[in-house]
Amino acid sequence: MTIKESFESMDYSPAPESRKNVDAWLEANGHSFGLFIDGEWVKPKGAKTFATYSPATGEKLADITAAGQDEVDAAVAAARKAQGRWALLGGHGRARYLYALARLVQKHSRVLSVLESLDNGKPIRESRDIDIPLVARHFYHHAGWAQLMDEEFPSHEAIGVAGQVIPWNFPLLMLAWKIAPALAAGNTVVMKPAEFTSLTALKFAELCVEAGLPKGVVNIITGEGDTGAMLVNSDVDKVAFTGSTEVGKIIRRAIAGSGKKLTLELGGKSPYIVFEDADIDGAIEGLVDAIWFNQGQVCCAGSRLLVQEGIADRFFEKLKHRMAALRVGHSLDKCIDIGAVVDQEQKDRIESLVRQGESEGATIWQAPCTMPGEGVFYPPTLAMDVGTDNTLFKEEVFGPVLTAITFRTQAEAVALGNNTRYGLAATVWSENLNRALEVAPALKAGVVWINGTNMFDAAVGFGGYRESGFGREGGREGMLAYLKPKFEAGLKDWAPIDAPKAASMPKAGTGMPGLDRTAKMYIGGKQARPDGGDSKAVVDKKGNLVSLVGEGNYKDIRNAVEAATKAAGWAGTTAHLKAQILYYIAENLSYRADEFTERLMTLTGATEKAAMREVELSVERLFSAAAIADKHDGAVHSPPMRGVALAMNEAIGTLGIICPDESPLLGFVTLMAYAVAGGNTAVIVPSERYPLLATDFYQILETSDLPGGVVNIVTGKRDEMAMPLAKHYGVDGIWYFGSREGSKAVEEAAADNMKRAWLNYGKAYDFTSSEQMSARAMMGRATDVKNIWVPYGDANEGGKSY
């Protein structure tokens, strides 16, 4: 194209980025790579290999070694051997290595960005200006956490060996998200990159050598899905996975009951909400970043556009005009907007979903962009006239496909935004900050961007709710995901407290009076008889009958969950009110201390002193929960942008709680109190052996101003009641204290809707311990963190200070 033609057409000429240094690196390695295990490059004899291609051209880049079981085991063993020394190096020692890695990423940024775009297909501008700078940022940020470990996390220690599996959409950035906090906390890692995009992970292994990182601290094993499964099932202490929801569920079920820590960052179908008072041009430019950034291959892509009806026609007209101007081309061309889809298999999936959505009534419009003649490309696509039941509205396409729907009211926008099984991210556009900050907390998403999108920083946690997974990466929450309380190492094995084998039933003429004194359940603020009409005997330590208690079933659990769901407004009450009600509960328990002391002595055989102490501790625990209720504050992060990120603590939702037998009053009170303090509603299964402590306690709840349905009590057998709670889609989190087998069953069932779980894995927590039941830790279990990004202002006279 001549200069004259360029001026007349205003088209961009190709501006290819040089790949000379990447080609030299590939040549130096013979276009063939082994595994990085224990600081050495390993190519096992007879190992399978697979090819990696550039999706923009179809060019074969290299052959990659597929790790088998022996290599996975060797990598984990190397990490295990290195972990103790790495942890003992101390925070400052680890910080120096992380800092060195950050500097090396910057020094090699050109090669890394070109290699990433060549292997993945994403535009070089994105790799160069977004991905690689964020990689360096994560290592810098976590060098700081390592330095501050003893001060910031004094009661925590490294988990051990982390097995990490990452996807192909952000290969090096996902590596940094996982490796940086793991190393900062004192863990060692075995990393498996995606088979489509392994090259930057292998280049990073070279940087580890250049930084002088001790052998075995970082191990990189390449392979396909079976290699990842081997790693998940190996002798690691922590599994961190980013990828599809379906695979995330498989992983959770695979490690259920093992006690392995788990972080899952899974799929999404994020709403992009535009109100009629929004800056339309700004919202459209934001939408380009939301759905066509990285070809839409982004878990948090704003793939569901929701536009208020009053501006819909104008918005869609402008949107199509902007889409028509997008440039699709070779990933190393600095002038393109959209690169190649990662692989033909992924393109085929995108095409299949679009055809299905069209068959279900969607109107498909594709931008008239010039498409390259070779490579794997898909045009920017808009699907309109979709209903909420359309496949394109419901399912994650993971490609450059946007669905659009309109709404009338703010309430409808929130309802449509939350009408998904996912909960990863959301975007809100409005010039009315009051509206934006009212809508953002109402959206069930771990991250909400206001008047912007796809903002990330190492200081700000990222992660989702629902089937988008659990756990956070980045920030303080991300560090805690790679740490465990030191006391966990000393937990003893849990054992149930069995009733005496020979129970003494009343003799004729001497038993209980005709008046029914069966202890009822407590559902929706009312006493309720068991649905099945069954009851069981409760006996004291000597086997004497004390009372009967209802035997719950699935219907009782269902009724209790419905009552808890109706009481969800509890989460929106002020922290001060929650604290006040908890204080009332403590006050009323204190009034009846003698009664509960007597009940504990009768049922458990405890001495008067021990029983009085448990009641006193229960009152104290209620005070602690009340005290922390209005002090469990969020944070205001200051990422490198003009704006802030508001970290807000939110209730998990409805919690299913299965209480222990030990300390039956204190255990029940502790779990109930912190669930309530966090803004949750709860369905509680009290101690199987001593349920009367809980059925006595609801009389206190009835006189303490707690709204009906916030706390529901269903008595019955521990594991029989745990399973319907674990399976119920209306339950958002589950706390279980029982056997290892019970923990395994609960965790497997909880995978269906990705419930957050706190399980004891057959270990006995000490509910009398202020360390094990610390207010901060308990509130951390009872809440999740939502980060709301709020850019602000225009540059003041060229950025001058005021």
User: Distances from the Cα of 306 to the Cαs of 14, 274, 407, 417, in angstroms?
Assistant: 35, 6, 7, 8
Q: What is the DSSP pairing of strand 60-65 with strand 32-33?
A: parallel
- Backbone φ and ψ for 516, nearest 5 degrees, come out as -70, 115
Q: Encode 53-70: b = buried (16+ Cβ within 10 Å), e = exposed.
A: bbbbbeeebbebbbbbee
Taking the C-alpha atoms of residue 183 and residue 207, their distance in angstroms, rounded to an integer, is 15
Both tokens assigned to 292: 């066509």
- Beta-strand runs (E) in 30-142: 32-33, 35-37, 40-42, 49-53, 60-65
Look up 208 and say whether it is catalytic. Answer: no
Instruction: Write down the catalytic residue from 299, 300, 369, 659.
Output: 299
Tell me the residue length of the chain: 802
* Nearest C-alpha neighbor of 413 from the set 586, 276, 241: 276
Look up 265 and say whether it is catalytic. Answer: yes
* Nearest C-alpha neighbor of 121 from the set 403, 490, 378: 378
Instruction: Write down the catalytic residue from 17, 265, 551, 614.
Output: 265
Provide the β-strand partners of residue 521: 528
Burial of residue 628, with CB atoms counted within 10 A of its CB: 0-12 exposed, 13-18 middle, 19 or more buried:
buried
End-to-end CA distance of the chain: 48
Query: 451: left (phi > 0), else alpha (psi -120 to 50), else beta?
Result: left
Identity of residue 202: L
Q: DSSP 3-state assignment of 449?
A: strand
**CA angle (144, 147, 151) in 5-degree steps:** 110
Provide the β-strand partners of residue 308: 407
How does DSSP assign 421-440, residue by residue? S--SEEEEE-S-HHHHHHHH
Spacing of C-alpha 749 from chain mean position = 17
Taking the C-alpha atoms of residue 689 and residue 718, their distance in angstroms, rounded to an integer, is 9
* Nearest C-alpha neighbor of 697 from the set 681, 686, 688: 686
Helix ranges (H only) for 389-516 are: 391-394, 410-417, 433-442, 475-480
Burial of residue 7, with CB atoms counted within 10 A of its CB: 0-12 exposed, 13-18 middle, 19 or more buried:
exposed
* Nearest C-alpha neighbor of 538 from the set 697, 711, 693, 737: 693
- For the chain, what is the largest distance between any 2 Cα atoms, rounded to a whole number of angstroms? 112
* Nearest C-alpha neighbor of 378 from the set 400, 410, 409: 400
Name the residues annotated as catalytic.
Answer: 265, 299
